[in-house]
Amino acid sequence: MRLLFKIDTEDYNPNGTRFIRPSARSIIIREGKIAMVHSTKYDYYKFPGGGIEENESYMDALIRETKEEAGLIVIPESIREYGYVHRIQKGTNEDMFIQNNYYYICTAEELIQPQKLVDYEIEENFTLEFVDPLCAIGINRHRNHGHKDKNMLEREAKVLELLVKEKLL
């Protein structure tokens, strides 16, 4: 899979403890808009997806996380690689947080299922929205999102910009 870009904050101890957390994220486009999870509490957008669990394939994680966060049922045969973002920064509890975020272009069934959110997602009021990519980029970059990780917000904005630049949106 191609490397889209790197985010390296260089604010960590490279010889310290490490937490490695790969993730799988879905890119679902309908009528020029993209499926995004909107945190209405902190007003930011993110691609549906999340961490890959131990002994879980990337595809299984993509399908599971998209269904849980967005209520969208990914059609497995439609999944194709888009690229990944490599992120390294100081961790919350560890010296280094390392994450490869794998993005996949896919199609979802039309019918939207109920979300299965975890506590922090409920607290942030995660809501599925099909949004104009330029709107999501602007909100992620120019609104106050409280304590949310600015690197995560910029990661999502940059991926959206690439999709627009490559005329996929």
Domain regions of the chain by residue span: 3-165
CATH code assigned to 3-165: 3.90.79.10
Residues in the chain: 169
> In this model, does residue 21 exceed pLDDT 90?
yes
Average pLDDT over residues 66-80: 98
Taking Cα atoms as reference points, which of 108, 95, 100, 12 lies closest to residue 51? 100
Average pLDDT over residues 3-20: 95
Mean pLDDT score of the chain, rounded to an integer? 96
Instruction: Please report which confidence band the pLDDT of residue 128 belongs to, taking 50, 70 and 90 as the band edges.
Output: very high
Backbone angles phi, psi at 76, to 5 degrees: -55, -40
Instruction: Please report which confidence band the pLDDT of residue 29 belongs to, taking 50, 70 and 90 as the band edges.
Output: very high
Separation between Cα atoms, residue 2 and residue 82, nearest integer Å: 7
> In this model, does residue 82 exceed pLDDT 90?
yes
